[in-house]
């Protein structure tokens, strides 16, 4: 019995003893009362019988209450015992269910592993007797090379085709996807065409490419072959902005990124895939591309240059940056500072120590939001205060938006000024939200200003629409004008013309408008400074209107 139960039993015994002693006390009291009556000098108004009945009534009441308490105690102990038994049974049932579930899971796991092993062995045996045929496109020849695979040859595509093993060993074999087939056939042009035709499903394709590349006989050669048309032989200035060419270049960058992802997932395969022969071929391509970057239109790229990104990605993916001047590579970073891959590229190229200089170049060219993003990416926020950079950005934006002679500003010019400030405010708000700077830089004043500018923009647009002359319809008989028509449908029925300035888009990180102010860069030399007119994309930053974006 527990300690509480022992204490309760002791209390019960003491109460019973006290009740038994009450009878003897009553007898003693009766004797004392008799002695008092024997003394005639004392007169008592109380009768003994009354006292005796009173004390006996108290005794009966105490015994009745005591018995009730004992009954309640027994019921409580019974309930506690029943509850304890129920809990023990439930606990035992839960343990039994857990054990049964673990046993079933183990059985399913063993059966699945056994089924996979059987299927893999079966596929290996079937494929070991089939020769692998591929075109020798790398050497420019048209002849076919037949390679006999040994019985134990590793086929990396097997694991991708085995899906959903069942307990009894039955397997559902998934046929290879179109991407996998193209990679197996080393068809770089077909790969480009497939990605272009299915650009609506680009996110799913991007996830599948690293797996599909494993099925290629030589993934690195396939990716290098895909770069063949990055720079067409003859391309005019207009063609450089052609949507098809831009889409092809984005595909080239994506394929190099996917190859890097594939190698990152299996570092042991890097030396086999990126051989010395592959590196030499990649160096040849990089040396052909490098002079073309000297004529790069920095103003049009605005930190979003596909050409510079492709060159840097080529160096990073194939590990050939050591063959090029590091300072020249560093000078290309501002031309890609708005692209989401910039930080990873800089790390892969070993430019981490150069980032303070890059950030200062961006600051000197009024690219403050790029500077904030890179400061966070490389833990340089103590050296370059994000709040200070954003305030400087807004300060220069307001300065650039202020007209020289407010009294002589035309409505059109004032609208453009307001639009520039509005775009700058939204860019700063987005940057604050991305890096969670709300406590250091409250957004309420910025948001109020945004509301004010948007309201002024809407009001001016309504006034402009109301001021347009309304055309009058002549009568059907051609004689003057007809009566005034009053049953005109609700104006809301007619669609509004699109706004001149589309809403600010947030979905692409590191894409933001710049400033019109011009600053020279002296940190990394004159060759590193951006064009004097580089800042003239404030609120009008060029964004590629290609079929799809990478």
Scanning 402-546, the segments in alpha helix (DSSP H) are 411-434, 444-467
What pLDDT does residue 6 have? 58
Q: 3-class secondary structure for 410-436?
A: CHHHHHHHHHHHHHHHHHHHHHHHHCC
Task: Write down the number of H helices and E strands in the chain.
Answer: 19, 4
pLDDT digits (tens, 9 = 90+) for 140-165: 444 444 444 444 444 444 344 434 44
State the Cα angle at 473 between 468 and 474, rounded to 5°.
140
How many angstroms separate the CA atoms of 360 and 392, rounded?
Answer: 13
Range of the domain at 68: 9-124
What pLDDT does residue 525 have? 41
Domains identified in the chain, total number: 1
88 occurs within a structural domain: yes
285 occurs within a structural domain: no
What pLDDT does residue 46 have? 57
Torsion of the alpha carbons at 125, 127, 130 and 131, rounded to the nearest 10: -130
237 occurs within a structural domain: no
| 3 state DSSP class of 134 | strand
Tokens 């009740």 belong to 19
How many angstroms separate the CA atoms of 311 and 469, rounded?
Answer: 55
Tokens 């596909």 belong to 306
What pLDDT does residue 262 have? 93
Q: How far is CA 460 from CA 128, 412, 418, 457, 464, in A?
A: 75, 10, 11, 5, 6
pLDDT digits (tens, 9 = 90+) for 511-537: 433 433 433 333 344 344 444 333 333
4 occurs within a structural domain: no
18 occurs within a structural domain: yes
| Exposure string over 372-393, b if 16+ CB within 10 A, otherwise e | bbbbbbbeeeeebebeebbebb
What pLDDT does residue 184 have? 93
- Residues contacting 68, CB < 8 A, separation 6+: none
What pLDDT does residue 52 have? 80
116 occurs within a structural domain: yes
What pLDDT does residue 396 have? 87
What phi and psi values does residue 217 have, to the nearest 5 degrees? -60, -40
44 occurs within a structural domain: yes
27 occurs within a structural domain: yes
Residue 487: count of CB within 10 angstroms of its CB: 4
Of 78, 5, 75, nearest to 86 by C-alpha is: 78
What pLDDT does residue 104 have? 86
Torsion of the alpha carbons at 342, 344, 346 and 349, rounded to the nearest 10: -130
What pLDDT does residue 545 have? 34
Residues (pLDDT < 50) of the chain are: 1, 41-42, 131-171, 476-550
């Amino acid at each position: 019995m527990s300690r509480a139960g022992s204490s309760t039993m002791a209390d019960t015994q003491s109460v019973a003893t006290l009740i038994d002693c009450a009878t003897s006390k009553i007898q003693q009291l009766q004797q004392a009362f008799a002695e008092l009556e024997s003394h005639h000098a004392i007169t008592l108004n109380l009768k003994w019988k009354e006292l005796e009945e009173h004390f006996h009534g108290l005794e009966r009441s105490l015994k009745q209450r005591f018995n009730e308490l004992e009954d309640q105690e027994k019921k409580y102990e019974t309930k506690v015992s029943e509850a304890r038994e129920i809990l023990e049974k439930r606990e035992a049932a839960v343990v039994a269910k857990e054990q049964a579930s673990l046993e079933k899971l183990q059985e399913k796991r063993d059966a699945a592993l056994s089924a996979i092993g059987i299927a893999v062995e079966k596929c290996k045996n079937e494929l070991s007797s089939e020769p692998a045929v591929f075109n020798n496109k790398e050497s420019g020849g048209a002849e076919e090379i037949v390679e006999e695979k040994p019985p134990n040859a590793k086929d990396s595509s097997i694991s991708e085709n085995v899906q959903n093993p069942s307990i009894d060993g039955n397997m559902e074999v998934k046929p290879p996807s179109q991407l996998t087939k193209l990679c197996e056939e080393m068809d770089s042009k077909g790969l480009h065409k497939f990605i272009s035709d299915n650009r609506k499903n680009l996110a799913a394709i991007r996830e599948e490419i690293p797996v599909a590349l494993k099925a290629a006989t030589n993934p690195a050669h396939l990716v290098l072959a895909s770069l063949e048309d990055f720079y067409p032989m003859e391309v005019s200035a207009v063609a450089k902005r052609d949507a098809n060419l831009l889409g092809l270049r984005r595909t080239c960058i994506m394929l190099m990124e996917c190859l890097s992802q594939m190698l990152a997932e299996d570092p042991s395969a890097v030396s086999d895939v990126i051989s010395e022969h592959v590196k030499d071929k990649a160096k040849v391509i990089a040396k052909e591309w490098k002079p073309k970057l000297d004529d790069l239109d920095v103003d049009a790229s605005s930190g979003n240059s596909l050409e510079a990104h492709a060159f840097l990605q080529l160096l990073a993916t194939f590990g050939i940056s050591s063959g090029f001047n590091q300072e020249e590579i560093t000078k290309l970073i501002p031309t890609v500072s708005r692209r989401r891959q910039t930080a990873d590229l800089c790390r892969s190229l070993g430019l981490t120590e150069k980032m303070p200089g890059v950030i200062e170049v961006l600051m000197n060219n009024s690219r403050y939001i790029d500077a904030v993003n890179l400061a966070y990416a490389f833990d340089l926020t103590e050296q370059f205060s994000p709040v200070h950079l954003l305030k400087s950005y807004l300060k220069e934006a307001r300065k650039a938006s202020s007209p020289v002679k407010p009294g002589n500003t035309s409505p059109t010019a004032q609208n453009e000024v307001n639009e520039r400030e509005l775009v700058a405010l939204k860019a700063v708000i987005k940057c604050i939200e991305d890096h969670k700077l709300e406590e250091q830089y409250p957004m309420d004043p910025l948001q109020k200003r945004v509301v004010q500018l948007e309201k002024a923009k809407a009001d001016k647009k309504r006034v402009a629409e109301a001021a347009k002359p309304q055309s009058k319809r002549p009568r059907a008989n051609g004689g003057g004008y007809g009566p005034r028509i009053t049953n005109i449908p609700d104006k809301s029925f007619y669609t509004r013309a699109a706004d001149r300035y589309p809403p600010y888009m947030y979905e692409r990180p590191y894409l933001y408008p710049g400033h019109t102010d011009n600053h020279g860069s002296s940190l990394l030399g004159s060759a590193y400074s951006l064009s004097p007119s580089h800042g003239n994309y404030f609120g009008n930053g060029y964004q590629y209107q290609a079929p799809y974006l990478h």
